[in-house]
Amino acid sequence: MARHSAAITRALDKIERLDLKQIVARTAEEYGWTDYQTDEAEDWYKNFLKLCYLNRRQPVAALGKDADILWHQHILNTVRYQKDCRAIFGHYLNHDPIDGKPSAAEEKALERTKKQYLKEFGALPDDVSFRCLKIPIPPIPPPPHGGTERVTR
């Protein structure tokens, strides 16, 4: 597994300690997951969040159907998701569903993500399909006219 600076290690530890019990329990009940599936989904979702932290400027594929389902359920708890994202990433973590056949850029993101999973965690989830990407936030341009935008009605 990869070695990181103390600051990055603290951030990754914060993700590991993220309390997702209610979200995980509700999702497991809704989808009829076994205890094993539930534990795997939570582990791989947290691994996904760690890769998102480590690759803030690049898209990251959400590998594994169950981990992706947990991401969706986390997002649906909007206040909690925003709070968790702000605490970990400093901003909302954007979600981009893949509609239809993945583009070349999306396939490239998938391959890069697989390499990162192997580097960071030494393994891939059982299901390496993906239907969603974390997309980086584009830089916010400064307001026009040096920040003195005039509003007219």
Q: Is residue 152 part of a domain?
A: no
Confidence of residue 5 (pLDDT cuts 50, 70, 90): confident
SS3 content of the chain, % helix, strand, coil (to 5): 60, 10, 35
Q: Is residue 1 part of a domain?
A: no
Number of domains in the chain: 1
pLDDT tens digits for 43-100?
Answer: 999 999 999 999 988 889 888 899 999 999 999 999 999 999 999 998 888 888 888 8
pLDDT tens digits for 111-120?
Answer: 999 999 999 9
- Closest Cα partner for 108 from 116, 119, 118, 100? 116
Domain span including residue 29: 6-138
pLDDT tens digits for 18-44?
Answer: 999 999 999 999 999 999 999 999 999
Q: Is residue 40 part of a domain?
A: yes
More confident residue, 151 or 51: 51
Q: Is residue 105 part of a domain?
A: yes
Q: Is residue 42 part of a domain?
A: yes
- The C-alpha atoms of residue 59 and residue 108 are separated, in whole angstroms, by 9
Q: Is residue 129 part of a domain?
A: yes
Residue 7 has pLDDT above 90, yes or no: no
